[in-house]
Amino acid sequence: AQSVTQLGSHVSVSEGALVLLRCNYSSSVPPYLFWYVQYPNQGLQLLLKYTSAATLVKGINGFEAEFKKSETSFHLTKPSAHMSDAAEYFCAVSITGQGAQKLVFGQGTRLTINP
Amino acid sequence: GAGVSQTPSNKVTEKGKYVELRCDPISGHTALYWYRQSLGQGPEFLIYFQGTGAADDSGLPNDRFFAVRPEGSVSTLKIQRTERGDSAVYLCASSRGGEQFFGPGTRLTVL
- The distance between the two most distant Cα atoms of chain B, rounded to a whole number of Å, is 38
The C-alpha atoms of residue A90 and residue A71 are separated, in whole angstroms, by 19
Contacts of B98 (CB under 8 A, 6+ apart): none
CB contact under 8 A, B48 and A43: no
- Per DSSP, what are the bridge partners of residue A104? A93
Q: Does residue A97 sit at the B interface (CB-CB below 8 Å)? A: yes
| Higher pLDDT among residues A28 and B16, named by residue | B16
Beta bridge mates, A95: A102
Is the per-residue pLDDT at B1 higher than 60? Answer: no
Residues of chain A with pLDDT under 50: none
3-state secondary structure of B9: coil
Chain B: residue nearest A89 by CA? B42
CB count in 10 Å sphere of residue B27: 9
Q: Is the dihedral of CA A45, B57, B9, B94 positive or negative?
A: positive
Task: Test B104 with A42 for CB contact under 8 angstroms.
Answer: yes
Which of A4-13, B24-33, B93-102 comes out lowest in average pLDDT?
Answer: B93-102
Q: What is the per-residue pLDDT for A85?
A: 96
Q: Tally C-beta pairs within 8 A across A and B.
A: 61
A108–chain B Cβ distance below 8 A for any pair: yes
pLDDT > 90 fraction of chain A, expressed in percent and rounded: 74
Contact A105/B99, CB-based, under 8 Å? no
pLDDT attached to residue A97: 65
Query: Do B41 and A46 make contact, defined as CB atoms within 8 angstroms?
Result: no
How far apart, in whole angstroms, are the C-alpha atoms of residue B50 and residue B32? 7
B64 phi-psi bin (left φ>0, alpha ψ -120 to 50, beta other): alpha
- In sequence order, what are the beta bridge partners of B49? B32, B54
A71-93 pLDDT, tens digit each:
999 999 999 999 999 999 999 99
B99 touches chain A (CB under 8 A): yes
Q: Is residue B29's pLDDT more than 80? A: yes
